[in-house]
Amino acid sequence: MRTLPYQDLGFAKIDHHRPLRTGSPEVVMGKGKRPDQVAPIVASLSGRGHPVLVTKTDIATYEAVLVDTPSATYNDLAKAIVVAGDNPLPAREGLLVVTAGTSDLPIAEEASLTAGLIMGAPATRISDVGVAGLHRLIDCLPQIQSAKVLILVAGMEAALVSVVAGLVSVPVVAVPTSVGYGSSFEGLAALLGMLNSCAPGVAVVNIDNGFGAGYLAAQILRSGSGITE
Amino acid sequence: MRTLPYQDLGFAKIDHHRPLRTGSPEVVMGKGKRPDQVAPIVASLSGRGHPVLVTKTDIATYEAVLVDTPSATYNDLAKAIVVAGDNPLPAREGLLVVTAGTSDLPIAEEASLTAGLIMGAPATRISDVGVAGLHRLIDCLPQIQSAKVLILVAGMEAALVSVVAGLVSVPVVAVPTSVGYGSSFEGLAALLGMLNSCAPGVAVVNIDNGFGAGYLAAQILRSGSGITE
Amino acid sequence: MRTLPYQDLGFAKIDHHRPLRTGSPEVVMGKGKRPDQVAPIVASLSGRGHPVLVTKTDIATYEAVLVDTPSATYNDLAKAIVVAGDNPLPAREGLLVVTAGTSDLPIAEEASLTAGLIMGAPATRISDVGVAGLHRLIDCLPQIQSAKVLILVAGMEAALVSVVAGLVSVPVVAVPTSVGYGSSFEGLAALLGMLNSCAPGVAVVNIDNGFGAGYLAAQILRSGSGITE
Amino acid sequence: MRTLPYQDLGFAKIDHHRPLRTGSPEVVMGKGKRPDQVAPIVASLSGRGHPVLVTKTDIATYEAVLVDTPSATYNDLAKAIVVAGDNPLPAREGLLVVTAGTSDLPIAEEASLTAGLIMGAPATRISDVGVAGLHRLIDCLPQIQSAKVLILVAGMEAALVSVVAGLVSVPVVAVPTSVGYGSSFEGLAALLGMLNSCAPGVAVVNIDNGFGAGYLAAQILRSGSGITE
Amino acid sequence: MRTLPYQDLGFAKIDHHRPLRTGSPEVVMGKGKRPDQVAPIVASLSGRGHPVLVTKTDIATYEAVLVDTPSATYNDLAKAIVVAGDNPLPAREGLLVVTAGTSDLPIAEEASLTAGLIMGAPATRISDVGVAGLHRLIDCLPQIQSAKVLILVAGMEAALVSVVAGLVSVPVVAVPTSVGYGSSFEGLAALLGMLNSCAPGVAVVNIDNGFGAGYLAAQILRSGSGITE
Amino acid sequence: MRTLPYQDLGFAKIDHHRPLRTGSPEVVMGKGKRPDQVAPIVASLSGRGHPVLVTKTDIATYEAVLVDTPSATYNDLAKAIVVAGDNPLPAREGLLVVTAGTSDLPIAEEASLTAGLIMGAPATRISDVGVAGLHRLIDCLPQIQSAKVLILVAGMEAALVSVVAGLVSVPVVAVPTSVGYGSSFEGLAALLGMLNSCAPGVAVVNIDNGFGAGYLAAQILRSGSGITE
Amino acid sequence: MRTLPYQDLGFAKIDHHRPLRTGSPEVVMGKGKRPDQVAPIVASLSGRGHPVLVTKTDIATYEAVLVDTPSATYNDLAKAIVVAGDNPLPAREGLLVVTAGTSDLPIAEEASLTAGLIMGAPATRISDVGVAGLHRLIDCLPQIQSAKVLILVAGMEAALVSVVAGLVSVPVVAVPTSVGYGSSFEGLAALLGMLNSCAPGVAVVNIDNGFGAGYLAAQILRSGSGITE
Amino acid sequence: MRTLPYQDLGFAKIDHHRPLRTGSPEVVMGKGKRPDQVAPIVASLSGRGHPVLVTKTDIATYEAVLVDTPSATYNDLAKAIVVAGDNPLPAREGLLVVTAGTSDLPIAEEASLTAGLIMGAPATRISDVGVAGLHRLIDCLPQIQSAKVLILVAGMEAALVSVVAGLVSVPVVAVPTSVGYGSSFEGLAALLGMLNSCAPGVAVVNIDNGFGAGYLAAQILRSGSGITE
């Protein structure tokens, strides 16, 4: 194991072996990294032809990245930097991302970017079908029930997850968001709601972790397609 | 205010004025009180002809109560001691108690006892319609939508509350229960879920507080009937 | 249920059926939504003649709303955008909003706007009667005891709720606020205080949830008036 | 949806439609239910030929179940009641359950029972490969890397999850357990550790939720096998 | 400082200098100590003529104590072992202990024992004047307002403290109790309520810490009486 | 009680009876109040000749206050607005305020202002004697042991409180501060440390509540001086 | 790494390589393991001549162990099973274990057993020198200051740690215990106190983790003696 | 003890005796101190020839310090002010600082500064070897296993600590960082992970406490070198 390849930038060690080991390249969490750290990491990954995704970042970091990686683009909704990879991934169908409310969209976008760009599993989306208006959800049931894997993005009490998980036979990846106020305690209420869902088949990830949800959902799909890189 | 009547037992002061002030007699929380304290409190209340309810108590306390109050009965499901009052209350119709699961029944029973015995609002009940099987809930919708006030009793993630509150136009009294395990944290998940419901019109009470829910729901009904004692 | 009407804006699905189903139109939580999302939502709701309320928003969003909805006004105390509906609602009397302190006023205002504008239940108000000066509260008791439903808005330890709930026979809707510091933990102390009130008849909503309180209180009043839309 | 079949026992509504809707029958959580409630639920499910699993139960309940369902057996390690179904499910291969320590075995057993009995996905197991002795884990890597889906069961700090998830390309279902003491806070440390894993591809379920993990893992496998009942 | 006297029992060091330094002898917390540890500690303290109080103990420990200290008595309400001292302390008047409810009596008794036995400040008591029946409290106001120092013992939301502290000019020692259930979280709600009291002049001690309250109140009185041992 | 005097400003009710009832005038918490609310409250209190203290406020509010109350001054260390009263209070000696570290000074200043300005108990101060350098504390012991009441202000782990309380015979008022980082959790560590002090005689107030500490300490002193207004 | 030796019992994998890798044999946590699991683990370890320590266990487990390992003894204070190893370890001097109170002794004993039996670092002990009686501590200072490494065991607020750490130049291993009640929250107060110590040089371990403290302290000593196995 | 030297600046007491007592000079926490407080503290320490370190500070404070202490420099990564001491400390070899990710570097730098500047133990560093890419860590094992003491700096779930501690025979000082988001709860997940490590030999310090880790590690090394100042 000691001989697997990585690149040492001093402050970071780029794991170029990851695609071979886990089937997908490293994704960079922008939060807590300085622009002068993110820029060379992006250049290193992009230089090997990997697709690159930097999540939870900002415009200032994007501008630093642009100097060495002019093909990078910035996704303002997800607050993410994106660089396409050299080789298009084989597309896997069947991922549907559903949000409970409009405020959950940034996290849904992060999930879609991860699944589509990094994992080759482009997602379709249904927005704003929280259970306060159950008819909106039921109207979308045929689409929901035909997905091969679902990502549900919800803040507040996240009741959407239990309702949907009780109606489908495929795995549900549940992302709690920090949408809400007061006793939502920055997403804790949604997280606990999802973990205690009365319907089984729910895979929970961290609060606001769109990346993790997109990655996991695509991994499930990939198993489903018989492809395990 | 200083001259309102109460009876001083030394270790307790029985508030005999409460029915005049708030429209209903005192209810005794059994938890934390010794049998030799509960027995004279029950005797004092019952001696004035009030209906008596002791919640969260046990058989040993019931046996102590029986000595002076032989008409007392014990409700094993709710763990409650019950003594009928001298004067039947005028019955108010329209209260429906709904539980998400079978394990929520003890708290539902406490709510029903409170509403029926103490407040004159006998409840009907629907059990085990958690959202994991949404068709069970939807099958009961006509009954739910014809109630004048609802008590919803749910543990775990309590998603039932948001779904029902989005489908009715009457107030929903939501009781979180300690049903669940792990990150339900003894009812905290259900409590937070109810407080953060995406559907408005939800009145939350303490975890496992069937008494408070029955009281509040009957009070709402009483307003509705034009009667405010 | 699948055929009930709603309008799909892509990032949001406007629930135009809600007034029929629950008796009141959708209210928009401004927190977490961008101005370019709020503006078309307001336009959509207002275009159908519904009264519109956007809570927890800001001036920048208001300015975006004004472009398409020039009749919108901004309530600076509640941080809310308001658009009157086409048809005045029948007024229901009897709602009283009481605050423990001056700092609780923004949440009280949000409650009053919701009840008055959206639900047709205009509120009167008593401010700054926290129990540290009990005579101020007792001086207002006749007014408090003649209300048909009460909203109590309090931060810190929220003792006002238990005192008032012990003195009235009508339901009390209790709104904990994040007013306080240190171990108030952003409203947690007030929330727990209200949930554990020794006086029954208390309906608790989320911290700083003026909207939820106004909605619930009006719903209770509406039951009381015999009107259930 | 209203016409889907279920059986109403009064205190419980058995969801006989669930296998059609979600691909697997209802599982009964024993905790919080009385023997006289569990027994008829088991009889109802078993009477339709469904396999039955009652989790987190005890011997007294088992004895009550035996009266009407003599074919029931009791799994002492998992504290579960088991009744085989009429029709053997088609077996899906590829599920591996791994525990960090010996004390995690009861939850691993609950996961295996669920996957094998209810979902038709029998599991193999590796026990006691916590990262304190990394060589034990690395010795098992070939077996771990050839699984199609993994369930990792770990208490304390649950570091096993991050290490394994970084070494495989298939989804990892992570079950935090309440094994530990002091600041493990009944499994909270393990839960937070799993939610914050630096390696992606981790699906977290509730603390001690072996059932949920077995269900989810089998659902993922089922997608993988192209079978979606 | 190194030469101050204490007695070393090996597993405990009895602080015989404490009365000189702080004006009162050591009090023994029984919780967590074995009978064969408590017995010699009591014998050592009693042998010097100090009054002895062991709090939060049990009958088995009392029986072990009796062997060497036959004058010891057991207070069943407070779960305390008591041995009178050789020299009666000069009595200080003015301490009043008030409880919100009957279930708070054990902690009130612990406070009274500490103040009376150890500190020479015998207490009078008012029980069960929680604010749900404000007239009971107001009826006692003359007695409350004539005390020189108050101990208020309350669980649940502890609103009694804010009401009383707003009506008196003397210090209030507030003891939160673990009386309550659900979101009282074993006394946390009462503790936070007292710490956030809107009325100043409130000294808070630990949950269920009757000893600490009795000690502090007597210390305040002692300052008041001009006596500082 | 209903006839006690107060002044109604609409958004606030000034409690002019408080000095008679509790022995000291109202103090205004600036946090959460707008400048246009604070200014008339200050003017109202000052107009009756009361000394005025506004805590946790800012320069902008001070400037609004100056318009109507030109004698107001601003204490930058405590972030407080101060107006002297018409009648100097009789001075009570014996209050000592001690801080564990330099960062605790703002809260110590708030305590001193309250005690000196509002309660007539000017304080002396010892700063930066945290137990990490015990000799600094022991050097000050004679001064500490001659005080009649102590206020101890400490953040982080607040060990100063237990050490000092074990060395004195007078009451210790302990103020936890939010000084610290990480697992100090904004003062929670200090608060819990003080509540669990192994030395008795400790009166705890809210985190950063210098006002409450100054008020309580002066109240204790006042009892000691035989003056109870 | 894959070829390092361990023994597979099925439910447990005994890490016989650990002494070579980390310098000390495996220690068995008894909590959560059944007697029929502990017994063969002990037999396996003891059979190789390792000293064996089972912590947090009970008499029933001990009796099961005795069958195959008759040389095992039971330490009632620490609730531990002990088997001596074949080869006495070279003794390292300089470890001193200090407890704040008598109730902390079981955890101190666990620490001493670990250091002495497993690591070859026998400990001396000082008991009951909590800071409430500072002279007891100062009397022991010469002994404390001559230790080469200290283990401090304290519950409640754990102020002992900060005081001692400020007076010595050697590392302090701090063990919070669950001794206390109410807001000690089962050791949380002590844990936070130690983590926030104003004196540096403090190494914190888990609540009640005597084993971890003994292990770490001996490891530090071992570095000090120039021996690194 | 009372005669040990310190310098009283009024708002701070500089502990000039600390090097004699504990073997190292005082370090100044910048957080919560104003520039006009930090500047004279630095001047006082530096004037005695001590090396000076101010942690968690900012550029504005640095500029105030420069006026009187022109030799001060600012470390932008660690946000620290540094002044060299008059006498170089004897260097102790063997400290290795390891970070799990790039975002942990500021805390690692604070640890290195403390160990090197204040304690005479210069550190080498390995960055970004989190367990998600285990080969990066294993590649560094020879360097890790040859260190005499390790500091591990990790946020998120901090699994690095358990893995490394199981592979070395020297003490591991573990620093949780606030790196992460959502349910990392500002470092709580990492803190709990480290406290519950399944591998022993882990010394935990406060979240983001690089200073404490550097100090403790150097103290351990110093013991190892036979030097105890």
Beta carbons of F196 and E215 less than 8 Å apart? no
- Contact, B68 vs B42, CB < 8 A? yes
Q: Is the model's pLDDT at D115 over the cut of 90?
A: yes
Q: Mean pLDDT over residues E9-23, rounded?
A: 88
Q: Is the model's pLDDT at B54 over the cut of 80?
A: yes
By CA distance, what is A134's nearest residue in C?
A: C1
Report d(CA E95, CA E217) in Å as an integer. Answer: 7
Where does the pLDDT of residue A20 fall: very low under 50, low under 70, confident under 90, or very high at 90 and above?
Answer: confident
Report d(CA D223, CA C32) in Å as an integer. Answer: 35
Where does the pLDDT of residue F30 fall: very low under 50, low under 70, confident under 90, or very high at 90 and above?
Answer: very high
- The DSSP 8-state label assigned to residue G133 in this structure reads G
The confidence score (pLDDT) of residue E229 equals 46
DSSP chain A: -TT---EE-SS-EE-TTHHHHHSS---EE-TT--HHHHHHHHHHHHHTT--EEEES--HHHHHHHHHH-TT-EEETTTTEEEE--SSPPPP---EEEEESSGGGHHHHHHHHHIIIIITS--EEEE----GGGHHHHHHTHHHHHT-SEEEEEE-TT-HHHHHHHTT-SS-EEEEE---S-GGGGGGHHHHHHHHT-SSS-EEE--TT-HHHHHHHHHHHHHHHTT---
Touching G: which chains, 3+ CB pairs < 8 A? D, E, F, H
**Chain H residues closer than 8 Å to A23 by CB:** none
Burial of F31 (0-12, 13-18, 19+ CB in 10 A): middle
Question: Closest Cα to residue E78, out of E63, E62, E67?
Answer: E62
User: Dihedrals φ, ψ of A226, to 5°?
Assistant: 80, 0
Beta carbons of A192 and B156 less than 8 Å apart? no
The confidence score (pLDDT) of residue G229 equals 47
Beta carbons of H198 and D162 less than 8 Å apart? no
Report d(CA C15, CA C35) in Å as an integer. Answer: 20
Interface test mutation site (partner E, options B8, B11, B215, max chain E beta carbons within 10 A):
B11
- DSSP reduced 3-state for C139: helix
The confidence score (pLDDT) of residue C209 equals 98
B101-124 per-position pLDDT tens digit: 999 999 999 999 999 999 999 999
Where does the pLDDT of residue H94 fall: very low under 50, low under 70, confident under 90, or very high at 90 and above?
Answer: very high
The first and second tokens of residue D29, run together, are 């959580």
- Contact, D91 vs D141, CB < 8 A? no
The first and second tokens of residue F99, run together, are 């801080």
Beta carbons of D228 and A191 less than 8 Å apart? no
The confidence score (pLDDT) of residue C88 equals 77
Q: Give percent above pLDDT 70 in chain E.
A: 97
Distance in Å, alpha carbon of C211 to nearest chain A alpha carbon: 12
**Chain H residues closer than 8 Å to F182 by CB:** 176, 178, 186-187, 191, 206-209
Single-letter amino acid, residue A27: V
The confidence score (pLDDT) of residue F23 equals 82
User: Dihedrals φ, ψ of A186, to 5°?
Assistant: 60, 35
Q: Is the model's pLDDT at D226 over the cut of 50?
A: no
The confidence score (pLDDT) of residue F226 equals 46
The confidence score (pLDDT) of residue E23 equals 82
The confidence score (pLDDT) of residue C224 equals 64
- Contact, H17 vs H4, CB < 8 A? yes
Distance in Å, alpha carbon of A138 to nearest chain C alpha carbon: 6
The first and second tokens of residue F39, run together, are 């200014």
Provide the residue-wise pLDDT of chain C in tens; the chain has 229 residues: 667 789 999 999 998 888 888 888 889 999 999 999 999 999 999 999 999 999 999 999 999 999 999 999 999 999 999 999 998 777 889 999 999 999 999 999 999 999 999 999 999 999 999 999 899 999 999 999 999 999 999 999 999 999 999 999 999 999 999 999 999 999 999 999 999 999 999 999 999 999 999 999 999 998 765 554 4
The count of other CB atoms within 10 Å of the CB of residue A68 is 14
The confidence score (pLDDT) of residue G227 equals 52
**Predicted complex ipTM:** 0.95
Q: Mean pLDDT over residues E158-175, rounded?
A: 97
Q: Is the model's pLDDT at B226 over the cut of 70?
A: no
Q: Is the model's pLDDT at E224 over the cut of 70?
A: no
Helix axes H105-113 and H210-224, enclosed angle (nearest 10) = 40
Question: Closest Cα to residue F207, out of F183, F185, F229?
Answer: F185
Question: Closest Cα to residue F150, out of F136, F164, F130?
Answer: F164
Q: Is the model's pLDDT at F10 over the cut of 50?
A: yes
Beta carbons of E181 and B17 less than 8 Å apart? no
Residue A27: C-alpha distances to residues A20, A63, A112, D127, D168 (Å): 15, 19, 14, 32, 16
A116-169 per-position pLDDT tens digit: 999 999 999 999 999 998 999 999 999 999 999 999 999 999 999 999 999 999
Q: Give the HSE-up count for residue F45: Cα atoms under 13 Å, Cβ half-sphere.
A: 30
Q: Mean pLDDT over residues B209-225, rounded?
A: 90
**pTM for this one?**
0.96
User: Dihedrals φ, ψ of H174, to 5°?
Assistant: -110, 125
Report d(CA F209, CA E201) in Å as an integer. Answer: 12
Q: What is the CA radius of gyration of chain E?
A: 18
Partner residue opposite E11 with nearest CB, options G128, G133, G155: G128
Q: Mean pLDDT over residues E139-154, rounded?
A: 96
Size of chain G, expressed as the number of residues it contains: 229
Size of chain A, expressed as the number of residues it contains: 229
The confidence score (pLDDT) of residue G143 equals 96
Beta-sheet strand order (sheet of D73-75): D28-29, D52-55, D80-83, D73-75
The confidence score (pLDDT) of residue E226 equals 46
B171-204 per-position pLDDT tens digit: 999 999 999 999 999 999 999 999 999 999 999 9
Distance in Å, alpha carbon of A197 to nearest chain D alpha carbon: 9
Residue A7: C-alpha distances to residues B48, D15, E71 (Å): 85, 55, 79
Single-letter amino acid, residue D147: A
Q: Is the dihedral of CA C54, C56, C57, C62 positive or negative?
A: positive
Partner residue opposite A201 with nearest CB, options D22, D166, D226: D22
The count of other CB atoms within 10 Å of the CB of residue B49 is 11
Angle at F17 between CA F16 and CA F20, to 5 degrees: 130
G34-43 burial string, b = 16+ CB within 10 Å, else e?
bbebbbbbbb
Q: Mean pLDDT over residues D22-50, rounded?
A: 94
Query: Tokens 């209200």 appear where?
Result: C194
F197-206 per-position pLDDT tens digit: 999 999 999 9
* Chain F residues touching chain G at CB-CB below 8 Å: 100-101, 130-134, 156-159, 161-163, 165-167, 180, 182-185, 188-190, 192-199
Euclidean distance between the first and the last CA atom of chain B, given in angstroms as a whole number: 18
The confidence score (pLDDT) of residue C227 equals 53
Residue E88: C-alpha distances to residues E14, E210, E218, G54, H121 (Å): 21, 22, 15, 51, 61
Query: Tokens 């196995």 appear where?
Result: G229
Question: Rounded to an integer, what is the distance from CA D114 to the centroid of its chain?
Answer: 5
The first and second tokens of residue H205, run together, are 């310090």
Asked if F touches D (at least 3 Cβ pairs < 8 angstroms), the answer reads no
Where does the pLDDT of residue A226 fall: very low under 50, low under 70, confident under 90, or very high at 90 and above?
Answer: very low
Partner residue opposite E179 with nearest CB, options B3, B15, B32: B32
Where does the pLDDT of residue D224 fall: very low under 50, low under 70, confident under 90, or very high at 90 and above?
Answer: low
Partner residue opposite B200 with nearest CB, options C148, C170, C215: C215
Report d(CA E106, CA E175) in Å as an integer. Answer: 12
Partner residue opposite D157 with nearest CB, options H180, H184, H196: H196
A59-94 per-position pLDDT tens digit: 999 999 999 999 999 999 999 999 999 987 778 899
The first and second tokens of residue B41, run together, are 């409190």
G185-219 per-position pLDDT tens digit: 999 999 999 999 999 999 999 999 999 999 999 99
Report d(CA H149, CA H147) in Å as an integer. Answer: 6
